[in-house]
Amino acid sequence: MQCSREIEDMVCVAKGPKHGPAPIPEEGKWVESKQISDISGFTHGVGWCAPQQGACKLTLNVKEGIIQEALVETLGCTGMTHSAAMAAEILPGKTLLEALNTDLVCDAINVAMRELFLQIAYGRSQSAFSEGGLALGAGLEDLGKGLRSQIGTMYGTLPKGVRYLEMAEGYVMELGLDENSEVIGYKYVQLGKMMEAIRKGVDPKEALEKNIGTYGRFDEAVKVIDPRKE
């Protein structure tokens, strides 16, 4: 390494104790991470675009610094869904450092990658204390039955109140109101399970009926409304 004249003329002072990196939890063991290949784990990062019009949740399963599995979930921007399709193809096989320095097509996905890197580099992962880590396919397990993202969509206005549109259980079909016009429950359809049944040859009407459920005190409602029209 080239040094300036001032440095060349200085007296050499011996380095004292070796102060290595603090160990971080990785897949059931403590690791002193010194290079990218030392990093393993299953973790998440959330990002957003500059106008904050949309957001991305990125999930990666990393083994010895190499991305083995990628789940890209997006919200609020139609264009971002196409960017996510490209990112899901780009990411597997890259090292964490490569992924961090790769244009993942959309600002929100790039930011999610940055946030995920900060998580996993400091040992903050879902598999930190899971011996051997999580197997490939853990990303799909995050989605649950029907392999659909967990999305909650609620809407409210001052003059007309709240509307539940999509809950963890599924697409909200009806809201149940009590005598005070307060929400006490809802009826929903599990779209993922319904579509799986249709794919297996079940009649669409039958598949719909079999995957309808209710939550809360819906059966006690004195009034039922369609949250999208009423």
The predicted structure's pLDDT at residue 1: 85
Instruction: Name the nearest CA neighbour of 36 among 65, 62, 57.
Output: 65
The predicted structure's pLDDT at residue 109: 95
The predicted structure's pLDDT at residue 18: 86
Per-10-residue mean pLDDT for the chain, 230 residues long?
A: 92 90 94 95 93 92 96 91 94 96 93 96 93 92 81 94 94 97 96 92 95 96 95
The predicted structure's pLDDT at residue 125: 94
Q: What is the pTM of this model?
A: 0.86
- For the domain made up of 24-142, the CATH class stated in words is alpha beta
> What's the burial of 203, exposed, middle or buried (CB within 10 Å: 0-12/13-18/19+)?
exposed
Please list the residue range(s) of the chain that carry CATH number 3.90.1010.10. Answer: 24-142
Q: Any long-range contacts for 49-54 (C-beta under 8 Å, 24+ apart)?
A: 49/77, 49/80, 49/106, 49/107, 49/108, 49/111, 50/107, 53/77, 54/80, 54/108
The predicted structure's pLDDT at residue 17: 87
The predicted structure's pLDDT at residue 219: 96
